[in-house]
Amino acid sequence: MQVEKRYRGRISQIPVCLGKMLRMFFYQNDWKVLPLSAAVAGLVGIVIRHRIFINMEGTLMSGLAVTSVCLWNGCFNSIQAICREREIVKREHRGGMHITSYIMSHMIYQALICAMQTAIILFVFRYIGVRFPEHSIFERNFLIEYFISLFLITYAADMMSLFISTLCRSTTTAMTVMPVVLILQLVFSGGMITLPKILDPLSDYFISNTGFKLIAAEADYNDLELTTAWSAVEQIKNNEISGTVSVGQLADIINNSKSATMQSVKSVQILGNAGETAGLTIGDLVAELSEDNPDAANLRKKEIPYKTSVGDLLEIAGESNVRSYVVKSTSRSAQRAAYDYNAGNVIGYWLKLAAYSLFFAVLAVIFLEFIDKDKR
Amino acid sequence: MDKALQIFTDVYFNSTKPHLVVFSILYIIGQWKMLTKSGVKGFWSLVPCAREYQFARCANRENDGRAASVLDLCTMACVALSYVFKDPYILIFIVVLVISLDIALFMVHIRIYGGIIDVYNAKRSWMILWLFLPTRVIPALVWGYSKAYQPRMKADDIRTALDRILSSENAEVMDTGLTINLKQRAVWDFFHKKPLLQDIHMYIPQGHMVLLLGGSGVGKTTFVNAINGYEKGDAEIILNGRNIYKDYRHMLYECGYVPQQELMRSKDTVYHTLADAALMRLPVDTPPKVRKERIEEVMDILGLTPARNTLVQRMSGGQKKRLSIAMELISNPSLFILDEPDSGLDGVMAKELMEELRHVADTGKIVIVITHTPDRVIDCFDDVIVLAKDSTRTGRLAFYGSVDDARKFFECDKMEQIIKKINTTAEGGEGLADSFIERYPEVKNAG
């Protein structure tokens, strides 16, 4: 009786395919993506180092930049990976190679590359002077958590590009498609461009959107300050303001103000014509001019012309108080539940990115299974 | 903007006017008759999308027909979407898409109508009438119903007389060797079945080296792909008593196929390339020592040992061919098929390569070789298979037998002369394919 020969199955073919890929990493210069990711991280790091994790607007802008770096790295890792050797894959498939083994080995190989790139990015950021927060949802080093987040964004983009690579018949087509995909990812990231209402729900299905939310959550965005409004106020501090104010209004301001400047104004002695003191202070005078005093009603209505600056007004009202009010109220309005730093959000985004990766890998398998149907 | 959008949507999606319906019906009536004249079933004119393709076939413009059908289908899908979505943004997108599709469809139509004008041998000025729907009715009705307008060629699906004449006698199945009983290998090309190969029956004994001859586009590669089960046809292929189609997952290791191009990773070494092939193609329980010995053995057979650590990209054309063959030979297949292994090689190298293949065949393997320069290496072959295109452009068996019998049958000394005889006159040949296809079964039965 003839004994049936057994050949390599799906699992046992993975190390063979992986071995080829690892050899190509060294010999076909696939390692070039590593210094490239260091260069990109360096360029972006210089721009974001004094912005990220410091305030809301800086974190938002930097978050988009970091997401873009991850997307860029992921896309470039694998966009040509399959289309450049499509004919070879076809021959190997014909010779017994399973497409699932081939894609699985790509998944492992690309995961290694993405992990190395993420480590390089974090190293470069740290070296450049990005100050990472101390917090961590798992009570471990924040960097580990941040590594996982950046890795998953990069890996999801990598798997998406791997899928695109299965669709494209040539490297030229793949490289033409890639910028379009990257632009779409950036448009739908939700970081910069406000989308029309009808398109907004679509952004939930983009890696960039999930990645951006994850980066914002990791930075504890909702706990940061929005300083844009206060910065705008500071810029107009020297602007002059002129107009009229009634005696009543002026008296009320002085009366109600608790600022140190105003307190010192209140304690100033009023001198007589001959320079003698009458034991009367400005505080006493404005108290006399209060709303409760019917005798002062006419005097309260009297208009006094004034000429001052925004800075002086802020000083009168108490600059730190005004700053605190402006920053707190604008920050509150900028907070979003999606950017909240909690385990639910972070793990949710991780799972979503992992699901994207798996989804694109499955699609890559399905589409590559039709490789035999390619026209000769 | 809303007003402009309204106008566009009215023009594109709400323009079902009674007179347009009448014109469309008249056009369908004319097109029905035109399709019939060209040998295509008239009812296709009633089928949206498909009618574009069938009409293009009559115009000898199949590719344009495919494009027109797809564009038509997309346009219809867009119109359907416009009824579902009423959001202005989506409508703008759909309108832009429909305009783009219509421009593309118009361009494709120009080519199709140009083709139909050629087929009907009519004047180019008819084109003006063909381009627009109301006026298109006139040529469709006139050409359809007037006996003065007849197509020069037909796009008929009706097979030629060869179908009736040819014997479809199956080759006897043997326990050893390769039995090929291929009734048909066809593809569905849009809306019609296109036979690529028809009625090829033969038995190739073990240890034979067979030359596969045929003009360009006759279906040589399709034939070998059908034999090794890669592109299955309506066939029964038995190799050493086992059905390749039914047991493909195992039999693929018994069939080695060397493609025309050297499909290997250029930055890999010879040894690594072969080691990977051995891992993939040898049984999983092969001990590493045996595997290594097999690699060394194959490198030795094909003269690759001195280049074992050389990168593929640094190898000569001949060495690359050898490596490509070695990758398949490593699994010791019973059937070995090579698609133009000597292309790009000089005479000496080609001869050396064929002699090596001859040695492989002598070990009891069946070696089938496709080559366009057979005469310089003809001594290496036992048999010749000649495939030829019949009048309906289907690949058929024009001959299978020994090299000497082939010379007698085709009445020529050189194999390349056979190609000239069976090629069509348009290809620079003598156009005798049908007569050889017709004669071969008679000669075979008589012999």
Domain that holds residue B67: 2-145
CB A361 within 8 A of CB A162: yes
Indicate yes or no: CB of A90 within 8 angstroms of CB of B327: no
pLDDT higher than 90, residue B236 = yes
Indicate yes or no: CB of A96 within 8 angstroms of CB of B252: yes
pLDDT, average across residues B298-314? 90
Domain stops at, among B111, B145, B179: B145
The strand pair at A303-309 and B192-204 is best described as: unpaired
Q: Is residue B239 part of a domain?
A: yes
Q: A88 to chain B, minimum CA–CA distance in Å?
A: 5
Q: How far apart are CA A76 and CA A277, in angstroms?
A: 82
User: In the structure, what pLDDT confidence band is assigned to residue B205 with cuts at 50, 70 and 90?
Assistant: very high
Q: Is residue B374 part of a domain?
A: yes
Residue of chain A minimizing CA distance to B275: A16
Q: A95 to chain B, minimum CA–CA distance in Å?
A: 7
Residues B426, B354 share a domain: yes
Q: Is residue B327 part of a domain?
A: no
Q: B277 to chain A, minimum CA–CA distance in Å?
A: 9
- Partner A contacted by B381 (CB < 8 A): no
Per-residue pLDDT tens digits for B143-180: 999 988 988 877 754 445 455 555 556 777 777 889 99
Domain stops at, among B145, B174, B207: B145
Mark out chain A residues that contact chain B at CB-CB < 8 A: 4-9, 12-13, 16, 19-20, 23-24, 27-28, 85, 87-88, 90-92, 94-97, 196, 198-199, 372, 376
pLDDT, average across residues A210-216? 94
Q: B253 to chain A, minimum CA–CA distance in Å?
A: 7
CB B16 within 8 A of CB B133: no
Q: Is residue B156 part of a domain?
A: no
pLDDT higher than 80, residue B396 = yes
Question: Contacts of residue A24 in chain B, CB cutoff 8 Å?
Answer: 265, 267-268
Residues B119, B11 share a domain: yes
Residues B202, B139 share a domain: no
Indicate yes or no: CB of B89 within 8 angstroms of CB of A199: yes
Give the nearest partner residue to A7 out of B89, B221, B253, using CB atoms.
B253
Q: Is residue B270 part of a domain?
A: no
Residues B104, B53 share a domain: yes
Give the nearest partner residue to B285 out of A6, A85, A372, using CB atoms.
A6
Nearest CA to A330 out of A237, A229, A234 is that of A229
Indicate yes or no: CB of B276 within 8 angstroms of CB of A20: yes
Residues B189, B100 share a domain: no
Residue of chain B minimizing CA distance to A101: B280
**Mutation target vs A (from B265, B285, B309, B320; most A CBs, 10 A cutoff):** B265
Residues B111, B10 share a domain: yes
Question: What integer pLDDT is reported at residue A68 of this predicted model?
Answer: 94
User: Would you kindly state where each structural domain of chain A is located, as residue ranges?
Assistant: 10-220+341-373, 229-329
Question: Contacts of residue A94 in chain B, CB cutoff 8 Å?
Answer: 230, 252, 257
Of the listed ranges A143-157, A330-344, B147-161, B252-266, the least confidently predicted one is B147-161
Per-residue pLDDT tens digits for B215-231: 888 999 999 999 999 99
What CATH number does the domain containing B386 carry? 3.40.50.300
Domain stops at, among B94, B120, B145: B145
Report how many Cβ contacts below 8 Å link chain A to chain B: 70
pLDDT higher than 70, residue A70 = yes
The vertex-B127 CA angle with B125 and B131, nearest 5°, equals 145
Tokens of B184: 């048909």
Q: B282 to chain A, minimum CA–CA distance in Å?
A: 7
User: In the structure, what pLDDT confidence band is assigned to residue B281 with cuts at 50, 70 and 90?
Assistant: very high
Indicate yes or no: CB of A7 within 8 angstroms of CB of B250: yes
Residues B115, B250 share a domain: no
**More confident call, A150 vs B187:** A150
Helix pair A99-128, A33-48: axis angle to 10 deg: 40
- Partner A contacted by B276 (CB < 8 A): yes
Give the nearest partner residue to B261 out of A13, A87, A199, using CB atoms.
A87
Q: Is residue B300 part of a domain?
A: no
Residues B356, B212 share a domain: yes
Give the nearest partner residue to B265 out of A5, A12, A24, using CB atoms.
A24
Question: What integer pLDDT is reported at residue B297 of this predicted model?
Answer: 92
Question: Contacts of residue B89 in chain A, CB cutoff 8 Å?
Answer: 196, 198-199
Q: Is residue B233 part of a domain?
A: yes
Q: How far apart are CA B223 and CA B228, in angstroms?
A: 9
User: Looking at residue B400, what DSSP letter applies?
Assistant: E
Structural domains in chain B (count): 2
Q: Is residue B346 part of a domain?
A: yes
pLDDT higher than 60, residue A260 = yes
CB B105 within 8 A of CB B113: no
Q: How far apart are CA A150 and CA A67, in angstroms?
A: 8
| ipTM field | 0.75
- Window B:251-270, CB contacts with A under 8 Å: 252-253, 257, 259, 261, 263-265, 267-268
Q: How far apart are CA B308 and CA B285, in angstroms?
A: 25
Residues B67, B24 share a domain: yes
A323-327, A363-367, B87-91, B196-200 — most confident range: A363-367
Residues B178, B133 share a domain: no
- Partner A contacted by B314 (CB < 8 A): no
DSSP B405-441: HHHHHHT-SSHHHHHHHHS-GGGTS---HHHHHHHHH
Indicate yes or no: CB of A92 within 8 angstroms of CB of B281: no
Residues B177, B123 share a domain: no
Residues B239, B365 share a domain: yes
**Mutation target vs B (from A5, A24, A86, A371; most B CBs, 10 A cutoff):** A5
Question: Contacts of residue B176 in chain A, CB cutoff 8 Å?
Answer: none
Question: What integer pLDDT is reported at residue A359 of this predicted model?
Answer: 97
